[in-house]
Amino acid sequence: MDVEAQKPDCSKNFIGGQWRDPAQGEYYTNEDPARQVPLGEVAIAGEADVDHAVHAAREALNGKSWGRMSPADRGRLLWRIGQTIRERGEYLALLESLDTGKPYTEALHGDIPHAAGAFEYYAGWSNKITGEVLPIPSSYVDYTRHEPLGVVGAIVPWNFPLQMAAAKIAPALATGNTVLLKPAEQTPLTAMALADILSELDVPPGVVNVLPGFAATGAALVAHPGIDKITFTGSTAVGKSIMRTAADTLKRISLELGGKSPNLVFDDADLQRAVRGVATGIYYNQGEMCTAGSRVLVQDSIYDQFMDAFLAALRDLQPGDPLDKNTRLGSLVSQEQFARVSHYVTLGQQEGATLALGGAPGADRGYFFPPTVFTEVQPHSRLAQEEIFGPVVAITRFADEAQALTLANDVNYGLAAGVWTTDLARAHRVAHGLQTGTVWVNTYNALWHEAPFGGYKESGHGREGGRAGAELYTQTKNVCIRI
């Protein structure tokens, strides 16, 4: 496929249904991290562009074509967006792979269908979010309405660019809002390709606006008084700063932040399944995943057996060209992320953990990082406590169930956890004891649009997916009538 010929134009903002030059005339160069070659110039949206987009979004909200579109018609439109994403799967997967460094195969079978699925799933909710008539005294009629919040600012990260954008835009549109999307600076391509799709499908102008740029562009969305809600996925540090700034305008926020998710392997686990699950849990998407199972807790009695099988399973897992169909580990997204991951490897060694595998990147071009395993990791070390966001796993032993739970919960994060056991009662006991928004038993990273997803503790606020995901974009009005 000739990408050059079809690569979306990122040098403009998409505002009010039109491609517009950035007001300040500022641009940056986007990079393909695997080849370290430029992917094109990208507009930097400034405050004036954000303001312009807020007005376009507000106008669409109150306008005839979107504001008065029936919920069923909104649903049909969302469905068509999902279908178009599916039809362009190969093209979008290629863009995603070039931009992020992730394997093309994973983008094709993971990111892109998942993004399409978000639109298809929320298409169905468009006309199914119903209010209630309340049982109050008969001299009154009292009912509730779930109204849109208004203009939504969606700030997304670089690890699953289209998928994350879809997970926010689809429920926001299903419930009648309008959106300003700020893609991550590392990965603007599929956001712009989505703008192309919306434009072709005649989504009314201003319903979705795309504003590329860096942190300052995101911050301009958060500060703007005309934006009613910020939905964010990214680092906990930025999530905290968004929460602080949002207080000034009392914006609604939902935050999907980092994690340090544990995978607990009990001595009654199906060892082969556990080994495979733990490996994909940490190495899928180069470990650049909020749910990465980056801490592995293994019961003493099977520790040696598990480690032998785990290291053997990783023998053939080496980073390679993301566009090669057989590649399962691509490039990290950027030089910055490469430096961050490298730093943690040095830190782990300084902290006295044992480097059992990997650690030293080999390629002279591209930000490739090999699968890296640390054992004997101390529970309070930074290696065990901080999000690395790379293919680095910290392994610690435990003696019994009680200790496993204590270790698992002893971090500030609480996004997800995996439990590997064949004991049914233990599976439920441990699932109930884990302080995480998601618990996977004998599986990992099984994510469904139907299921609520989000964090406990510093992993965030709010739940994406399911009915909860739609309700993130509504506010309830109560209407009480004296009859």
**Contact residues for 163 (Cβ-Cβ < 8 A; gap 6+):** 110, 111, 112, 114, 115, 118
How many alpha carbons fall within 13 Å on the CB side of residue 195?
A: 30
Residue by residue, DSSP assigns 83-103 as HHHHHTHHHHHHHHHHHH---
- Does 215 contact ligand NAI by CB under 6 A? yes
Q: In the stretch 348-387, what mask flags binding to ligand NAI with x, by CB under 6 A?
A: ---------------------------------------x
The CA radius of gyration of the chain, in Å to the nearest whole number, is 23
- List 28, 91, 214, 303, residue binding ligand NAI (CB under 6 A): 214
CB of 186 to Mg ion, least distance (A): 4
Q: Is the separation of the CB atoms in 375 and 357 below 8 Å? A: no
**Which CB sits closer to Mg ion, 26 or 376?**
26
182 makes contact, choosing from Mg ion, ligand NAI, none, with CB < 5 to 8 Å by partner type, with: ligand NAI
180 lines the binding site for ligand NAI (CB under 6 A): no
Q: How far apart are CA 167 and CA 119, in angstroms?
A: 8
Binding-site string for Mg ion from residue 10 to residue 39, where x marks contact by CB under 5 A and - marks none: --------------------x---------
Q: By CB under 5 A, is residue 286 in contact with Mg ion? A: no
Quick check: 113 binds ligand NAI (CB under 6 A)?
A: no
Task: Please state, in angstroms and as integers, the Cα–Cα distance from residue 417 to each residue in 266, 283, 306, 405, 449, following that order.
Answer: 13, 15, 18, 11, 18
| Identified catalytic residue from 120, 185, 290, 458 | 290
Q: How far apart are CA 261 and CA 153, in angstroms?
A: 28
Q: Is 99 in the site for Mg ion (CB under 5 A)?
A: yes
Among 183, 262, 184, smallest CA distance to 459 is for: 262
Q: Do residues 454 and 462 lie in contact, with contact meaning Cβ atoms separated by under 8 Å? A: yes
Q: Does 178 bind ligand NAI (CB under 6 A)?
A: no
Supply 466's token pair: 């399911």
List all residues 6 or more positions away from 122 whose beta carbon is below 8 Å from its beta carbon: 78, 170, 171, 173, 174, 449, 469, 470
**Which of residues 31 and 185 has its CB atom nearest to ligand NAI in the complex?**
185
The correct pick among 340, 382, 426, 457 for binding ligand NAI (CB under 6 A) is 340
Residue 479's CB is within 10 A of a number of other CB atoms, namely 11
Q: What angle do CA 40, 45, 47 make, to 5 degrees?
A: 165
185 binds ligand NAI (CB under 6 A): yes
Q: At what angle do helices 401-409 and 424-433 cross, to 10 degrees?
A: 30
Q: Which stretch binds ligand NAI (CB under 6 A): 27-35, 172-180, 231-239, 423-431?
A: 231-239
Q: Is 385 exposed, middle or buried (0-12, 13-18, 19+ CB in 10 A)?
A: middle
66 or 158, CB closer to ligand NAI? 158
What does DSSP assign to residue 321?
Answer: -
> Residue 28 or 303: which CB sits closer to ligand NAI?
28
Task: Pick the closer one to ligand NAI by CB: 97 or 186.
Answer: 186
Site residues (CB under 6 A) for ligand NAI, limited to 140-169:
155-159
Q: Catalytic one among 106, 120, 185, 256?
A: 256
Interaction between residue 236 and Mg ion (CB under 5 A): no
23 SS3 class? coil
Considering beta carbons, is residue 258 or 418 the nearer one to ligand NAI? Answer: 258
Residue 290 annotated as catalytic: yes
288 binds Mg ion, rule: CB under 5 A: no
Spell out, one character per residue from 155 to 194, where the chain touches Mg ion: x when CB under 5 A holds, - when not.
Answer: -------------------------------xx-------
Among 52, 80, 182, 463, binds ligand NAI (CB under 6 A): 182
222 binds, among ligand NAI, Mg ion, none (CB under 5 to 8 A by kind): ligand NAI
Q: What's the count of helices (H) and strands (E) in the chain, helices before strands?
A: 18, 21
Clarify whether 10 is annotated catalytic.
no
Distance CA 460, CA 456 (A): 6
Q: According to DSSP H, which parts of 126-233 are helical?
A: 161-174, 189-200, 215-223
10 binds ligand NAI (CB under 6 A): no
Selected range binding ligand NAI among 9-17, 64-72, 211-219, 473-481, rule: CB under 6 A:
211-219
**Residue 320 touches ligand NAI, criterion: CB under 6 A:** no
φ and ψ at residue 286, rounded to 5 degrees: 60, 20
Q: Could you list the residues that contact Mg ion (CB under 5 A)?
A: 30, 99, 186-187
Q: Could you list the residues that contact ligand NAI (CB under 6 A)?
A: 155-159, 182, 184-185, 214-215, 218-219, 222, 233-235, 238, 241-242, 256-258, 290, 340, 387, 389
Q: Catalytic residue positions?
A: 256, 290
